[in-house]
């Protein structure tokens, strides 16, 4: 019997965290433990957090790190499979953990390191964000290995810790997540696994609700941090193309707008893409910018302290 732990880094949670914890209680595959790595806010007057199988580990806000906080959670787990989730992702049904574990088990002969879930938009998700979700998280599952790099480029390394399951033995063998990274700790692990000869599964049948209605400035800041992480790890990202995948996204979204009779969204979408690209362009060149401008452009300002 495969054992499963769920690890959730928590920082300034909202009501979605309670929905997530409630949904985990109804899963057909029960997690042995839910490990919450938090900065203190999670404990303030929330009786739903007192379940017996929840383990808490508090860290200081200044030490909250995308990779390091998750590695801390992993160090508290002894399960065969570790499922990392974000506090704002809610399982779409009771089969999430079952589907994730099955995807890892079925693909064992391929030497898979991890599997990540499909992200469905919340009801309040705006149309443009829905189209982007459709492109990034399609209805068809797939397996990616090193052989896919020439054709898929950076998409080969995609692995989202919004909801992803990791085979424990491979996670430990590869040294877990990169620490002190501003973004992309999941994709960096995906690249490490792919280049080590393992593969990554995208399991479309494993679904969570997760979406954001980010403003144009937030898109700029988010893509700045994304590019900073790529600039900080040139050995991973230098030989794979990001721009080609970006153009595919643009073509897909505009075709969906046309099919839905929503071409009036094109001007906003173009502006959205311009903000994303501007953030990415500057982030790739952040070392040439003064620190005051870097901090102004970054979403994660604590990273620069």
Is residue 300 within a helix (H) or strand (E), and if so which, with residue range? Answer: none
* Whether residue 202 is found in the same domain as residue 238: no
Q: Which two tokens stand for residue 1?
A: 């019997």
For residues 144, 150, 155 and 156, what is the CA-based torsion angle, rounded to 10 degrees?
30
Do the bridges between strand 199-209 and strand 112-120 make them parallel or antiparallel, or are there none, so unpaired?
A: parallel
* Whether residue 32 is found in the same domain as residue 96: yes
* Whether residue 49 is found in the same domain as residue 159: yes
C-alpha span between 174 and 113 (Å, rounded): 10
What is the span of the domain harbouring residue 248? Answer: 216-304
Kindly list the averaged pLDDT for each block of 10 residues, start to end, along the chain of length 305.
93 88 93 90 52 80 84 95 96 97 71 95 95 95 92 90 96 94 93 94 97 94 94 84 80 96 96 95 96 96 87
**Residue 192 has what pLDDT?**
94
**Which of 193, 209, 225 is at the close of a domain?**
209
* Whether residue 67 is found in the same domain as residue 165: yes
* Whether residue 134 is found in the same domain as residue 245: no
> Are the C-beta atoms of residues 284 and 224 closer than 8 Å to each other?
no
C-alpha span between 213 and 216 (Å, rounded): 10
* Whether residue 255 is found in the same domain as residue 198: no
**Residue 45 has what pLDDT?**
47
**Which of 184, 209, 234 is at the close of a domain?**
209
* Whether residue 161 is found in the same domain as residue 254: no
Q: Which two tokens stand for residue 167?
A: 């085979």
Full DSSP string of 90-152: EESSTTHHHHHHHHHHHTGGGTEEEEEEEEEPPTT--HHHHHHHHHHS-SS-EEE-GGGHHHH
Model confidence, pTM:
0.92
| Domain CATH for 189 | 3.90.550.10
Our count of domains for the chain comes to 2
* Whether residue 203 is found in the same domain as residue 294: no
C-alpha span between 15 and 183 (Å, rounded): 24
Q: Is 300 left (phi over 0), alpha (psi -120 to 50) or beta?
A: beta
**Residue 13 has what pLDDT?**
86
**Residue 180 has what pLDDT?**
84
> Are the C-beta atoms of residues 98 and 28 closer than 8 Å to each other?
yes
Do the bridges between strand 54-58 and strand 33-38 make them parallel or antiparallel, or are there none, so unpaired?
A: parallel
């Amino acid at each position: 019997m495969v054992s499963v732990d769920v690890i959730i880094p928590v920082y300034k949670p909202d009501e979605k965290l309670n929905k997530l914890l409630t949904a985990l209680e109804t899963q057909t595959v029960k997690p042995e433990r839910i490990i919450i790595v938090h900065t203190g806010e999670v404990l303030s007057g929330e009786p739903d957090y007192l379940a017996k199988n929840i383990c808490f580990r508090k860290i200081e806000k200044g030490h909250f790190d995308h990779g390091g906080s998750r590695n801390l959670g992993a160090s508290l787990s002894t399960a065969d499979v570790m499922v990392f989730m974000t506090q704002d992702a809610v399982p779409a049904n009771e089969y999430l953990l079952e589907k994730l574990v099955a995807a890892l088990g079925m693909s064992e002969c391929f030497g898979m390191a991890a599997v990540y879930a499909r992200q469905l938009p919340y009801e309040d998700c705006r149309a443009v964000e829905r189209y982007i979700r459709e492109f990034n998280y399609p209805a068809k599952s797939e397996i990616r290995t090193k052989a896919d790099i020439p054709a898929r480029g950076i998409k080969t390394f995609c692995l989202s810790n919004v909801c992803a399951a990791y085979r424990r033995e491979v996670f430990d063998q590869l040294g877990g997540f990169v620490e002190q990274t501003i973004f992309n700790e999941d994709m960096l692990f995906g690249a490490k696994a792919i280049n080590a000869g393992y593969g990554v599964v995208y399991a479309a049948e494993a679904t969570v609700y997760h979406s954001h209605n980010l403003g144009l400035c937030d898109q700029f800041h988010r893509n700045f941090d994304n590019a900073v992480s790529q600039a900080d790890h040139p050995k991973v990202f230098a030989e794979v193309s990001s721009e080609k995948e970006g153009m595919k996204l643009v073509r897909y979204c505009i075709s969906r707008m046309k099919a839905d009779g929503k071409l009036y969204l094109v001007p906003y979408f173009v502006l959205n893409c311009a903000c994303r690209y501007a953030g990415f362009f500057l982030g790739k060149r952040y070392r040439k910018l003064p620190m005051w401008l870097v901090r102004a452009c970054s979403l994660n300002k604590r990273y620069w302290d």
